[in-house]
Amino acid sequence: MKFLHDEKLDHVPFSTIDLEEYLPELDNLITLSKQRIDEIKSESNPNFENTIIKLEESAKELGLLAGIFFNLNSAETSDRMQEIARDFSAKLTKYDNDVNLDGELFQKLKSVYDHKGSLDLDQESLRVLEKHYDDFSRNGALLSEGKKEQLRSLDEKLAQTSLSFGENLLSETKAYELFLSEEEVEGLPEGIKEAFKEAAVEKGQEGKYLVNLDYPSYVPFMQYAQNRELREKLYRARMSLCFNESETSNINNIKELVQLRDQRARLLGFSSHAEFTLKKRMAEKEEKVFSFLEELKLKALPKAKEELEELKEFAKNNGFEGELQRWDYSFWSEKLKKEKLSLDTELLRPYFKLENVVDGVFQVANKLYGLTFKRDDSVDVYHEDVTAYRVHGENDEYVGLFYADFFPRKGKRGGAWMTSYKEQFQKGGEDHRPHISIVCNFTKPSKTKPSLLNFEEVTTLFHEFGHALHGLLTKCRYRSLSGTNVFWDFVELPSQVLENWCFEKECLSLFAKHYETGELISDETIERMQGLRTFHEGLATMRQVGFATVDMNWHTKGAGVEDLGAFEKSVMDEMDVFPKVDGTNFSCSFGHIFQGGYSAGYYSYKWAEVLDADAFEAFKENGLFDTKTAKLFKENVLESGNKKHPMDLYIAFRGHEPKVDALLRRGGLI
């Protein structure tokens, strides 16, 4: 893989990569990186250039390889790749520990750090010095030799257990298939039925309809299927993923992950994994997060109860008998929404052809930041569904490479995310631009219809594209500070703030046109869509607060828990407005905190909503596409990476700290 050594790499040559090359190449690059570490350790007079800069550059090829491997293991994996992932992850974890726990290397770094006041460093260089020192300290550099070995063992187990969690979740999600008759899909929109029918044909089931647990399948079925028993069956399947006694159960994985994280935190001198995590977050302390969630709960819970009572009454008046259960919520909520807002969200789909929405978000980026996106089919991609774009700025300068990957498939995990294949950095007077990707699972085209997104998918695309802008527009000197390498409770600001444009006429008029007639979405429809911001916002807020509270409880007092179901229930009891469903448990499929990077950090979504609601008010005050406001946001947030503390960056943009009232106003909670 010679391309890994090319700092000016134009694009990753995916088609040339052989799976069997990964492990030998990993070994080679680990050896190379260790040689560079030895050079740093041999320095008799450590300084910023020969220690910090060299450390920053020591594993650049290794980081590129690891990024490619783990990105593809999420977006285009296979049984063989998952086998390789176990060895790959173990070797990489060992290397990371070899570096982080190298006492001689740390002393060189500490020598520079201890003299930082006399080095005359600029803000960004001082930031990268402090970051490396903190990273080493937080990863065991100050431990005794005996405790360092304990940390190595914990990290190896953590890496493997997290991999196992993700593999089990992917396996059970993709294995579930429900083949239904025409009668059993009654109530579903024709476009959805057609997609389900084609999916069944692909599986050799002519005349049937295939429903699975991927969101483009699961969500519309729960919203529109008349058959209540089947909604219950699908809900129970989704909410019991990996909560069982099978080989793909995640029960023991969760117990082990929580225990290992707690042990690791205590070994490093923290009282819990949450305390360890929050030390490098805007929120800073467990108490502040719990207080923040409690404040939201106090505002949202009464509203959520009101909303549920209204929904129960509505369902009863429309012929429903019995107790409203979770599998009834989406179905009746959709009907109530249609009546209250005079809006059938399914009828919005024709106005959101995927290609038009992509063009729309590109136009938004152009109006705000002067960006242009040009498709480049000569760029090698890892799957035929992936499209590559060259991105240029307002003065035609090259900004970066952008990949878009939109549809579900067998080797792709669920959900939506943004990632980086190559990070931005500056060297020798040259700015090396990033390679950024967004990966989603949207409704696929059918034989007679293009990919028509529901409105939630539209906001998801804008969300992930906001992350992409954060990755693309970065202007940092150092890799480890660039792009989205920021505090986790700040990283969601660029993504969530962009979702706001989806509700605005000035934005929707750019792209929301009927895919057959070309007719623009009407002003009246847009006004009704505004109601989506407050419709059942109490219930939606409590859902997020519930997830965040469960996450925080797992990582403050979850170590040693034996009964996952009872633990989750005890946390959710005072927040859950629906009856508990036996046999279900969302922790076992909570990939964000047990597979991704959101452990003790799921609160970040609501935290960032406070930021984004406050930030968007600046655009509303000055103009949706006001270039001065956009320039301030670009310079202080999108370009700045981790050059400064995020609160300092936010204040530089907004002029004040964010106010929670902006979020509560937007959601109609005050």
Q: Which residues are catalytic?
A: 464
- Rounded CA gap, 103 and 105, in Å? 5
Q: Angle CA(124)–CA(273)–CA(577) in degrees, nearest 5?
A: 110
Residue with tokens 């080679």: 28
Strand stretches in 394-539, DSSP E: 398-405, 417-422, 425-427, 430-432, 435-439
Determine whether 46 is exposed, middle or buried from the number of CB atoms within 10 Å of its CB (0-12, 13-18, 19+). Answer: buried
- Rounded CA gap, 257 and 165, in Å? 9
* Chain mean position to CA 161: 20
459, 440, 423, 235: which is closest to 345 by C-alpha?
459
- Rounded CA gap, 545 and 141, in Å? 35
* Contact by Cβ (8 Å): 176, 589: no
- Rounded CA gap, 286 and 293, in Å? 11
474, 497, 455, 449: which is closest to 629 by C-alpha?
497
- For the record, the structure tokens of 260 come out as 């290992």
Q: Residue 66's beta-bridge partner residues? A: none
405, 468, 413, 422: which is closest to 592 by C-alpha?
413
Cβ atoms within 10 Å, residue 475 = 16
Which DSSP symbol is given to 248? T
Mention every residue, 6+ apart, whose C-beta is less than 8 A from residue 148.
97, 101, 140
Q: Angle CA(461)–CA(463)–CA(465) in degrees, nearest 5?
A: 70
Mention every residue, 6+ apart, whose C-beta is less than 8 A from residue 429.
none
Cα-Cα-Cα-Cα dihedral of 339, 343, 345, 346, to 10°? Answer: 80
* Contact by Cβ (8 Å): 553, 583: no
**Is the Cα dihedral 524, 194, 223, 610 positive or negative?**
negative
Q: Residue 374's beta-bridge partner residues? A: 390
Report which residue type is found at 410: K
* Contact by Cβ (8 Å): 644, 131: no
Q: What is the CA radius of gyration of the chain?
A: 25
- Rounded CA gap, 631 and 274, in Å? 35
Which element (helix H / strand E) includes 392?
Answer: strand 387-392
Q: At what angle do helices 354-369 and 455-472 cross, to 10 degrees?
A: 40
Secondary structure (H, E, C), 193-205: HHHHHHHHHHCCC
